[in-house]
Amino acid sequence: MNNSPSHHNPEISATELKQRLQNAENLFLLDVREPVEYHTYNIGGINIPLSKLAESLSNISQHQGDEIVLVCQAGLRSKTAQSILLENGYTQARNLTGGLLALRKLQQ
């Protein structure tokens, strides 16, 4: 079993995420912004607003042991979402550092 810190790193950088998306990795992305924000710009994944996350966990329960990348605009809401998931046994929940803003900077 690999217990290196990187394996359980609670953060994922925009650089790492961009690389993994380019490699067409099958990542489980959870966007916790409001639907209007999600529909304006997103990188895929499913959209469950932070305000509804706690009551919607049953919708993603099949991913409890999987790596889940949490996404929001600047990385603050996704950090809160990460706490909710970790408290509910989602051990591989990772927060996108800097959010979509950081990712979009890389794409300019």
The CA-based angle 57-60-64, given to 5 degrees, is 95
Read off the pLDDT of residues 36-95 as tens digits, 9 standing for 90 and up. Answer: 999 999 999 999 999 999 999 999 999 999 999 999 999 999 999 999 999 999 999 999
In the prediction, which pLDDT does 108 show? Answer: 78
* Whether the predicted pLDDT of 17 surpasses 50: yes
Dmax of the chain from CA atoms?
41
Question: Residue with structure tokens 């994922």?
Answer: 12
In the prediction, which pLDDT does 9 show? Answer: 80
* Whether the predicted pLDDT of 3 surpasses 80: no
Render the burial of 44-82: b for 16+ CB within 10 Å, e for the rest: ebebbbbeebeeebeebeebeeebbbbbbbebebbbebb
Choose the CATH number for 5-106 among 3.40.250.10, 3.40.190.10, 1.10.3720.10, 3.60.70.12.
3.40.250.10
* Whether the predicted pLDDT of 6 surpasses 60: no
How many whole angstroms separate alpha carbon 1 and alpha carbon 101? 35
Tell me the pLDDT band of 8, cut-offs 50, 70 and 90: low
Which stretch of DSSP H or E encloses residue 94? strand 93-96
Three-state DSSP state, 67: coil
Query: In the chain, what are the domain boundaries?
Result: 5-106
